[in-house]
Structures are given as structure tokens and as C-alpha cells.
Amino acid sequence: MKKAIAVVLLLAVNALAGDLTGKWSGSFKVDGADHNVPQLFILKQDGNKLTGTGGPDDSEQYPIEGGKVEGDRVRFELTTGEWKFTYDLKAADAKIDGDLQLKSTNQARTAQVSLTKAK
Amino acid sequence: MVILGVTGSILEFEPELDRSLHSQLSYVTPVGRVLSLREIGDVASRRFNGEPVVAYLLSTSPDLSWQVVLPSGIVYVNQYTGEVLGLRPRGQTFLGYVRALHVRLANGTFGRNILKWSGVTMLLSLASGLYLWWPMKQIRIRGRWSNRQLWFDLHNAIGIFLLLPLAMLAATGTAIGFEDQLAPLIYKLTRSTPIHTTRGPVREPAPGATLITPDEAVAIARIQIPGAVPYRVQMPKYGGLYVVALRYPQDRITGGANQVGLDHYGKVVSLSRASDLSSGDRILAMIEAIHTGDVWGMPSRIVVWVASTMVLVQAFSGLLMWLYRSRIVPTPAPSTAESGL
């Protein structure tokens, strides 16, 4: 019985975020900077596992690593040549936004991300 | 200005400093043949839980180790023996912080704006310094030194001997700071446009197809840009294609601006060569090379280092001159006998 309740709760929590599968576009802005950097993600959600690719545009895409969806919380990482991007986002309706940590081999910065689902 | 000078002097020898801070990772003894990129990548990946290779960084000297970029950090590998020398995780380092201070006061746009106007201020200081120096033409540090005299002479001597390098540093630094405004003007004056690399269609790998290795990607790239030496190879999983960056070691200004993009089958889908850069691109690259001291190699790097370091001495001596000058020296009251009363 407890197991069943736990499964139902887990499903309900996951349902909060809805299905993230699809194309998401938007931008991030590094804290203190005055310009937005474009972002495009092609996501695939399977339960609480999130896979797909992301990058600045269609032609430059990097694989999503360690993607997880827990309730409305969406977390994943993406590595380009120099930088590693760690996303900690919240999904609501057709929007995902939250924090981004950027780490190179000698620098660390933070940014704010905002994505909307392409129709 | 002091921050710019101090951080600039540290950054002048950043690669050498970084290597000396991580000497056990950086240096190798050349023995025998160099392993293939595939072998080096396999060794690094196996050691760190099978993480995929993001990119390879090939060293410019035979006694420097090669690096394999993984999602978790950079693995240093002895390219002759395959020994994994260690991993540097991602994150803020001292030298990274120094760089952030130099370009944006470790802040964002606000810090960048302060710094670019500091460049203008430095140019004005140099001009006013020359104006004040000109009537005296003082270049010698004179023998009998009072405190004020010492700092005054030192300020004058350093200022005049380093006027040209300091002016070049300030002018190029200001130009870099105002690049958003300056670049369109340079392109307009030179009647050129920035070179953008276009990318041809990329074939996705078919299941079971024979795909090229990173070593083959490098070999094809070398044919495209003869005489250039590869220094970076990005894997196609990250960005969709192999990207091989090459440099002409003898060209210190635009030599690193060569890049070949290849699909999984080895077809060249993008190509940018230093020789194709427009005159506007070259001027902007020259400004940067003068500022970093790369323009004439080690001699100009030493001049830039000395000039950057001396900014601190100039600021300190200038401050002391001002302090001594502004101090009110009490004059003793004349005695009754002297006054004749």
C-alpha cells in the first residue's frame, strides 16, 4: 500500500512539470553582463530522465548530460569545448527558468536562464 | 589603473605561471613516438569512468603534456607513455580571478565600463605627465635624496623611459575596451567586413558507417592548411562536427585563426584561414597582439611586463609626491633677536 502511494505521489510530482519533450528556445544572461546569449534545446523526457541536446542554435548542439526532472525541478549539464553549463531550472506551463552555473577550467560565473517551448 | 597594471603584469606570463603552479601535470620528458589522439583519449576516458572526450588540446612544445577535455575537467596525459598525470577540475582559480579582474573587475558590465574609462584616464595622465616633465627634462635620479626628491626623480625617470610602452598599453587597452564602438569604424575605414565562416551541410552518421578518427580529422585539416600546426581538436559529439584549430607558429598576430570543420566522414564543411582575414580583422588582431605583447614574442612580452609592473610604482611615487607636496610644513617663528625687537 505504502509503495503504491509512493508511486502515485512520484507520478503526481512529475506531472507538475508536464512533459518537457520538444524544442525550447530562449537565452541566458550572465550576472552583471548586459547582453543575452541565445539558447536552443531539443529535449526528450522519459519519466524523470531528461536527454537531448542544447546549444546556441540549431547548427551547434551539445549533448545533455545527467538530465533529471523531479517535480517542477529540471536539472541537467552541458559541456562545450571550454565551458561546462550546469542548469538548475523550474518548469511551469510552457516556461522553464532558473539558474545557470558556468565553469571553465579557470573561471566560474553565474547566469539567469529563461526558456519557452516552441509551438 | 593600479589594478590593471598589477593584473596585467601577472597575466603577461600567465601560461608560464600556470605551468609552474602545476608543474607535475604540465611537463613531460620526450621519449619515442607520440601516441595517437585516439589512444590518448581512451586512456583519459578509461581513467575517469568512461567520460566522453570533449576535445584534445595539443601542446606547442615537445616537453609539455597534452590535455584531454572531459565534462568533469581537463586530464593531463603524457603523450609519449600514455601516463595520466592528473585532472584539473573546473572552477575558479587564482589566475582566472586575476583575468576576471583585468577585463571586468571581476564584475560584469559595470566593471568593464570602469576599466575602459581607466584606459582613457591613463592616456590623459601620460599626456599631463609629459607636459609637466618637458620643461625640466629630468631623467636622472639625483644623488642626495630626500624622500620627496627620490620619488619625484623616480616618477620622472620611469615615466619618460616607459612613456611609449605605457601609452601603447593604454591606447590598445582602451581600444579593446571600446571595441564595440571602434570595430565598425575600423571596418568602415578599411572598407572591409569581419570574416564569418559558413558551414556546409553535415551528414549525420548512419548506423554501421565507417567514421573517421580524431587523428584522421587532424590529418585532413593539415592538408587544408599546409604548414600550420594543430593545437585543438573538438569532437563531433560536442557541436556536431570535428573542429580542428591550427596555428602558424611564426605568425604571432593572426597565426591562430585557422579552423577546419569536418563531418563524421571527413568531409570539410567549414574552413577559416588566417590568410582570408579582412584588413579590419587584422587591425583588431594587431591591437590585441600589441596589448598582450605577443606582437614580437618574448622581447615585447618583457617590455609589456615591465611597463605593467611600473604602473604600480608610478601610482605609488605619484601618491607620495602629492602627499609630500600637500603637507603643511610649519615654519618656526623668528626669535626676538632675529626680528630685531
Residue A30: which domain range?
A: 2-117
pLDDT at B265 over 80: yes
pLDDT in tens, B155-198: 999 999 999 999 999 999 999 999 999 999 999 999 999 988 77
Q: What is the DSSP letter of A30?
A: E
- Arithmetic mean of pLDDT, B241-260: 92
Give the pLDDT confidence score for residue B336 in this predicted structure: 41
Question: Looking at the domain B214-277, which fold is it?
Answer: Nuclear Transport Factor 2; Chain: A, (3.10.450)
pLDDT at B328 over 50: no
> Residues B100, B102, B108, B111: what is their CA dihedral angle, to the nearest 10 degrees?
150
Number of structural domains chain A divides into: 1
Give the pLDDT confidence score for residue B145 in this predicted structure: 60
Give the pLDDT confidence score for residue B304 in this predicted structure: 96
Is B90 in Cβ contact with A81 (below 8 Å)?
A: no
Cell output for B51: 567520460
pLDDT at B332 over 50: no
pLDDT at B220 over 60: yes
Cell output for B67: 590535455
CA angle B300, B306, B308 (to 5 degrees): 100
Q: Which residue of B has its CA nearest to A65?
A: B71
Give the separation between CA B33 and CA A12, rounded to whole angstroms: 59
Give the pLDDT confidence score for residue B338 in this predicted structure: 42
Q: Could you tell me the residue ranges of all domains in chain B? A: 2-94, 108-191+300-325, 214-277
Complex confidence, ipTM: 0.77
Please tell me the distance in Å from A106's CA to the nearest CA on chain B: 5
Question: For testing the chain A interface, which of B102, B238, B270 should be mutated: the one with the most A CBs within 10 Å?
Answer: B238
> pLDDT class for B296, splitting at 50, 70, 90?
very high
Cell output for A88: 538548475
Give the pLDDT confidence score for residue B153 in this predicted structure: 87
pLDDT in tens, B243-252: 999 999 888 8
Whether the CB-CB separation of B258 and B225 falls below 8 Å is answered with yes
Q: What is the mean pLDDT of chain A?
A: 87
- Arithmetic mean of pLDDT, B247-276: 92
pLDDT in tens, A12-39: 444 445 789 999 999 999 988 888 999 9
Q: Residue A112: which CATH number?
A: 2.40.128.120
Q: pTM to 2 decimals? A: 0.84
- Arithmetic mean of pLDDT, A55-84: 92
Give the separation between CA B313 and CA B5, rounded to whole angstroms: 10
**Chain A CB contacts of B71 below 8 Å:** 65, 77, 79, 84
- Number of residues in chain B: 341
Give the pLDDT confidence score for residue B286 in this predicted structure: 96
β-pair partners for A29: A112
Whether the CB-CB separation of A99 and A23 falls below 8 Å is answered with no
* Beta strands B84-89; B229-234: pairing state: unpaired
Give the pLDDT confidence score for residue B335 in this predicted structure: 45
Cell output for A44: 526528450
Give DSSP secondary structure letters for B51-109.
PPP-EEE--SSTTB-EEEEETTEEEEE-TTT--EEEEEESS--HHHHHHHHHHHTTSSH
pLDDT in tens, B127-164: 999 999 999 888 888 756 666 788 888 899 999 999 99
Query: What is the percent of chain B where pLDDT is above 90?
Result: 74
Nearest to B165 by CA among B205, B207, B122: B122
Nearest to B246 by CA among B267, B235, B261: B261
Question: For testing the chain A interface, which of B19, B90, B109, B204 should be mutated: the one with the most A CBs within 10 Å?
Answer: B90
Q: What is the DSSP letter of A98?
A: E
Nearest to A89 by CA among A61, A113, A71: A113
pLDDT at A95 over 60: yes
Q: How many CB atoms lie under 10 A from the CB of residue B54?
A: 24
* Beta strand segments in A19-70, E: 22-30, 37-46, 49-57, 60-70
Count of A–B CB contacts within 8 Å? 67
- Nearest by CB: A81 against B69, B202, B240: B69
Give DSSP secondary structure letters for B15-65.
HHHHHHHTHHHHB----SPPPPHHHHHHHHHHHTTTPPP-EEE--SSTTB-
Give the pLDDT confidence score for residue B327 in this predicted structure: 56
Is B108 in Cβ contact with A106 (below 8 Å)?
A: no
* Partner A contacted by B203 (CB < 8 A): no
Give the separation between CA B281 and CA B329, rounded to whole angstroms: 57
Give the separation between CA B305 and CA B177, rounded to whole angstroms: 20
Under 8 Å CB-to-CB from B125, ≥6 apart: which residues?
B1
Give the pLDDT confidence score for residue B340 in this predicted structure: 37
pLDDT at A83 over 70: yes
**Chain B CB contacts of A32 below 8 Å:** 104, 107-111
Give the separation between CA B69 and CA B82, rounded to whole angstroms: 15
Give the pLDDT confidence score for residue B321 in this predicted structure: 84
Residue appearing with cell numbers 503504491: A4
Nearest to A28 by CA among A18, A38, A40: A38
Tell me which amino acid residue A44 is: K
- Number of residues in chain A: 119
pLDDT in tens, B196-215: 877 887 888 888 888 999 99
